[in-house]
Amino acid sequence: MPGARRLVGLVAGEPERRCDRRPITARVAVSVAVSASLGLIVLLHPSAVYAAELAMPASASGSTAWWVWPLVLFALTFVMGILAALGGVGGGVLYVPIVSGFFPFHLDFVRGCGLLVALAGALAAGPGFLKMNLASLRLAMPVALIASTCAIFGAMVGLALPTNIVQTALGATILGIVALMMSAKKSVFPEVEEADSLSSSLRICGVYTEASMGQTINWKVHRTVPGLLLFIVIGVMAGMFGLGAGWANVPVLNLVMGAPLKVSVATSKFLLSITDTSAAWIYVNKGAVIPMMVVPSLVGIMLGSFIGVRILRVARPTFVRWMVIGLLLFAGAKAITKGLGLPFIV
Amino acid sequence: METTGLPDCPAADEEQLLYAKILQIGMYIGLVLLLVTFALYTSGVIAPAVPVEQLPDYWTMNVHDYLEATNRDHLHQEHPISGWAWVTVLGKGDYLTFVGITLLAGVTIVCYLGIIPTLIRKRDKAFVAMAVLEVLILTLAASGILAVGH
């Protein structure tokens, strides 16, 4: 129904974008792979190994009263929650690089906390998305199985590696995410001419109501196998760095597998409740959880997101998105310099 | 993708709605427990293992050193607290908050367990297998068997 598709795109206020299979698959795959590769390059680089042998500074908290840090953490995560909602990213991707770069907490605790923050956001949003049929359990389950297994492996690797190496790889990954955010396009209603055999046999398809048009949208997916394979990389990175993985979930679900944008965003958010759960358990069992960090962060980011969603009605999302990209660039650079023991402007 | 002019969105699958219901209940219980136990901890109603004013001495350490140091200075257990050992020190305010944290982290397992009977009844073999595997994987992660360290 090409006419109907064009109508849908125009009513949604978005130009219709046709999914040219190979280039888009390749672009997303390359972007995710570049992020992973940057991390791996840093992991294997001799200077990173050398830096790992240097001791991390013992304390940065100095004589500051103990209660200042949770209070500042709460304020910061509140602002992060607003920015994350406006910028269309999860909280974890801002939380881990910024808090690990500028707070005295050790990276082990920041990653554990980052996963719990992302998990709480996903748990809060998940039920609503599932009830509205925007998040699809049938789409999420195969993906979650792969991503959560790989997230466990990522978490174990992340906890076993020296801090400097993880911090440097985190910085490289954040810069890779920036590149992904700047280059990846979005397709509100990707064109899926025919579901592939795997998604057909698993009946991965759905229906939801597009409120802006009063239309019921039927969707199906294709390129299921390449999509599932990309979730191996996404899972490992989510577990290793304590990042929620919405930044990677959405492009893969939307551009590679062809799920509508709203379904991709909602399913990605729900998916985090499973992927981050598996990695979070590894951090919790390891003891890498300090409640004085977790609760202020969790409450701060949830309240901030609550406010952010309301500001979104009057804000200019494009400007905020660039601001988030700028913040990530800054935090990524800080993480790299901290990991390598190099001086930084802050 | 296709569009139709139908006014109402058809209901989600039965197992999806059940999953959402369990997730919502678990999330609320976990969140309330986390906030209540944190209030008991920070207000001093239940004394913590590590005094809050001494936390900055420890949170700069990596997790291994942190566990060793807090055990040596405050907990005096045979082994540092890791895995599910926090259950043995629930009388301490800081470890009491772990109840809420583990509930939030564990609710997904309950959700999967909850939908397995429905999937079996619908003879949805592939998704039954996926749900069972996911439960096993998450349970393995939660069990503490997968121990790692610096």
| Domain map (residue ranges) of chain A | 19-49+68-337
**A136–chain B Cβ distance below 8 A for any pair:** yes
- Contact between chains at A209 and B9 (C-beta distance less than 8 A): yes
- Contact between chains at B130 and A145 (C-beta distance less than 8 A): yes
**B75–chain A Cβ distance below 8 A for any pair:** no
Q: How far is A122 from chain B (nearest CA, A)?
A: 10
**B40–chain A Cβ distance below 8 A for any pair:** no
CA nearest neighbour of A177 among A33, A60, A17: A33
Q: Work out the angle between the directed axes of helices A291-311 and A68-87 (0-180°, nearest 10).
A: 30
pLDDT score of B147: 65
pLDDT at B73 over 90: yes
CA distance A144 to A152: 12
pLDDT score of A312: 64
Residues B13-38, mean pLDDT to the nearest whole number: 94
CB of B96 closer than 8 Å to CB of A289? no
Residues B94-107, mean pLDDT to the nearest whole number: 94
User: CA–CA distance from B75 to each of B84, B87, B88, B92, B144 (Å)?
Assistant: 15, 13, 11, 10, 20
Diameter of chain A by CA atoms?
67
Q: Give B7's contacts in chain A (Cβ within 8 Å).
A: 214, 216
User: Both tokens of residue A213?
Assistant: 């048009």
Domain range list for chain B: 14-143
pLDDT score of A316: 65
Q: Are strands A205-210 and A215-220 parallel, antiparallel or unpaired?
A: antiparallel
CA nearest neighbour of A31 among A194, A256, A319: A256
**B43–chain A Cβ distance below 8 A for any pair:** no
Q: Give A290's contacts in chain B (Cβ within 8 Å).
A: 55, 59
Low-confidence residues in chain A, pLDDT < 50? 1-22, 25-61
Which residue among A7, A127, A260 places its CB closest to the CB of B1?
A260
CA distance A93 to A95: 6
Q: Model pTM?
A: 0.80
Q: Give B39's contacts in chain A (Cβ within 8 Å).
A: none
pLDDT at B4 over 70: no
pLDDT score of A187: 76
The average confidence (pLDDT) of chain B is 89
CA distance A178 to A260: 23
CB of B134 closer than 8 Å to CB of A148? yes
CA distance A277 to A295: 17
**A190–chain B Cβ distance below 8 A for any pair:** yes
Q: Which of A53, A187, A278 to mutate to test the interface with B (most CBs of B within 10 A)?
A: A278
Burial class (CB in 10 A: 0-12, 13-18, 19+), A274: buried
pLDDT score of A315: 64
Residue ranges of the alpha helices (H) in chain A? 2-11, 21-44, 46-53, 68-87, 91-102, 107-131, 137-160, 163-183, 197-201, 224-241, 246-251, 261-286, 291-311, 317-340
Burial class (CB in 10 A: 0-12, 13-18, 19+), A14: middle
The one-letter amino acid at A49? V
pLDDT score of A22: 43
The one-letter amino acid at A196? D
Query: Which residue from B minimizes the CA distance to A204?
Result: B127
Size of interface A-B (CB pairs under 8 A): 237
pLDDT score of A163: 85
Q: Which of A166, A255, A277, A306 to mutate to test the interface with B (most CBs of B within 10 A)?
A: A277
pLDDT score of A32: 40
User: Cα-flanking dihedrals φ and ψ of residue A215, to 5°?
Assistant: -115, 150
Phi-psi category of residue A103: left, alpha or beta, with phi > 0 → left and psi -120 to 50 → alpha? beta
Query: Which residue from A minimizes the CA distance to B99?
Result: A291
Q: Give A19's contacts in chain B (Cβ within 8 Å).
A: none
Which residue among B9, B59, B146 places its CB closest to the CB of A282?
B146
pLDDT score of A35: 44
DSSP code string of chain B: -EEE--SSPPPPPHHHHHHHHHHHHHHHHHHHHHHHHHHHHHHTSS--SS-GGGGGGTTTS-HHHHHHHHIIIII--SS---TTGGGGGTTSHHHHTHHHHHHHHHHHHHHHHHHHHHHHHTT-HHHHHHHHHHHHHHHHHHHT-S----
Cβ neighbours, 10 Å, residue B146: 18
Q: What is the pLDDT of residues A93-128, one digit of tens each?
A: 888 888 988 899 999 999 999 989 888 888 888 898
Q: Residue A334: helix, strand or coil by DSSP?
A: helix
Token pair 């020190």 is at which residue? B89
A151 or B3, greater pLDDT: A151
Query: Which residue from B minimizes the CA distance to A130?
Result: B20
- Contact between chains at A215 and B5 (C-beta distance less than 8 A): yes
Q: What is the pLDDT of residues B110-138, one digit of tens each?
A: 999 999 999 999 999 999 999 999 999 99
Q: How far is A245 from chain B (nearest CA, A)?
A: 17
Per-residue DSSP letter, A210: E
Restricting to A residues 267-326, those with a Cβ less than 8 Å away from any Cβ of B are 273-274, 277-282, 284-295, 298-299
CB of A280 closer than 8 Å to CB of A54? no
Q: Which of B63, B86, B97, B110 to mutate to test the interface with A (most CBs of A within 10 A)?
A: B63
Lowest mean pLDDT among A298-307, B8-17, B56-65, B109-118: B8-17
CB of A60 closer than 8 Å to CB of A258? no
Token pair 């367990």 is at which residue? B113
